[in-house]
A and B are shown apart, each in its own frame.
Chain A
Amino acid sequence: MGRIVSAAATSHTFGNDAADAPAAERIQSGMAQIGNIVAKSLPDVLVVVSSDHLNNFTLDAQIPLAIGIADEYIPLGDMGVPKTPFKGSREFGSAFAMYCSDIGFDLTPIENVRPDHGVSFPNAFSNPNGTARLVPLFLNTVMTPSPSCKRGYELGRALRAFVETQRPINERVAVLGTGGLSHWICLPDSGRVNEIWDRRIMDFLVSGDGDKIASLSREEILRDGGNGGLEIATWAFVAGASGDVTGRVIYYEAMTSWWTGMGGVVMNIDAT
């Protein structure tokens, strides 16, 4: 059986330090720390869970859940992420899709995807040498209906069960959920950050209360966290995948200049 050797959740946007250089530096330091923890867990496979931002998927066919099954990914290059090819794992992605289909999840396997910043930026700081095979998993919260936090949580639990029961002995899998926290994209509230809500979400995750994230409704999230806040379905995924262990907050900044509450947590998992 395989193992989940590390799990973390982090915001995936970025910005300059013009408005608040110390806060920007703390975010960078936090992202680097999270990436280092994930890299040092020596994963064979890195599952990065994110919404696409309508760079690969379109509104003509609103695919809510999808998994990359390519053997190689070249980042889209948005936000200046280098277009350095990364190894993928057709075998892992295809096997998980098949497993999911037997337990009530229909993941759309996708070949031709250029992962945007939601996947490629966290991959770049967590897997800089491409040692781990990247498996992008899309919870496309940009779609309507968007995958719920409950769905994300249950899919995370499914990944854990898949790794522990179906994968080769000693296969090491890291999980990185990305997106959030509160942000309003092209809405009158753009630039608003709800720090109280953000810290509540992080507290749920680090307290091992993943079911509390899972219970959040779309309406609550849209009201308190914005349309961008729907991305916390990937944080719910991390809760499920990590078995509801506790964790610790690595960074948080209410970056109104970036239009986003920026946060990151690492789950307490023994990688040895």
Chain B
Amino acid sequence: MMKPPVELHRLISAAIHDPDLAKRLREAPETVYAEFGVPEALREALCADPVAAVEKIGVHPNLQFKFLGQLGLLKLSSLTSVQPFLNTLEDRNGADS
């Protein structure tokens, strides 16, 4: 059974809560990969083509989503804030909502 990319999973999970780390991941990925102990073979693949690499490496789909989002490579174009919708609730449901 293939070992999952646990080091990369930990990196992605950490970057969710650390904007500085997420920024460094975008700007200097090789350095960050090394910090988290991502194996060298994986680092090369990730630097060459992150989109193909995460699939080939077996990154968990939910973490792929976050990783590609962190790198600005996510193809889902419908992302938006829910705040404008929440602001309409009072009008939709009445003043007591």
Q: Interface on A for B, CB 8 Å cutoff?
A: 14-16, 18-19, 28-29, 31-32, 35-36, 39, 53-55, 58-60, 79-82, 117, 121, 124-125, 128, 142, 185-187, 190, 227, 255, 257-259
Contact = CB atoms under 8 A, between A and B. Distances in A.
Contacts of A259: 76, 78
A79 B81 contact: yes
Given A14-B80, A81-B82, A32 B60 contact: no
A205 B78 CA distance: 28
Interface in B40-97: 54-55, 60-66, 68, 75-83, 85-86, 88-89, 92-94, 97
Secondary structure of the A contact surface, majority rule: loop
Secondary structure of the B contact surface, majority rule: helix
Contacts of A82: 83, 86
Nearest to B55: A186
B82 A124 contact: yes
B10 A58 contact: yes
B64 A186 contact: yes
Given A128-B89, A142-B62, A258-B76, 12 more contacts: A14-B80, A14-B82, A18-B78, A31-B85, A36-B94, A54-B13, A59-B60, A60-B6, A82-B86, A124-B86, A185-B64, A255-B78
Contact of B9 (A14, A55, A59, A117): A59
B51 to A, nearest CB: 10
B78 A19 contact: yes
B44 to A, nearest CB: 21
A59 B55 CA distance: 17
A15 B89 contact: no
Interface residues of B, number: 33
Nearest to A226: B61
Contacts of B76: 190, 258-259
A125 B86 contact: yes
A61 to B, nearest CB: 11
A32 B66 contact: no
Nearest to A116: B16
Contacts of B61: 185-187, 227
Contacts of A19: 78
The 6 A-B pairs with the shortest beta carbon distances in the complex, nearest first, are: A80-B81, A15-B78, A186-B64, A16-B80, A186-B61, A36-B93
B4 interface: yes
B85 to A, nearest CB: 5
A77 to B, nearest CB: 10
A185 B83 CA distance: 24
A210 B36 CA distance: 45
Contacts of B55: 186
19 contacts: A18-B78, A32-B89, A35-B93, A36-B94, A36-B97, A54-B16, A59-B4, A59-B63, A80-B81, A80-B83, A121-B82, A128-B97, A142-B60, A142-B62, A185-B64, A186-B65, A255-B78, A257-B77, A259-B76
Contacts of B92: 28-29, 32, 36
Given A35-B93, A58-B13, A59-B6, A53 B62 contact: yes
A82 B9 CA distance: 27
Contacts of B13: 54, 58-59
A15 B74 CA distance: 14
Given A32-B89, A59-B6, A82-B86, A54 B78 contact: no
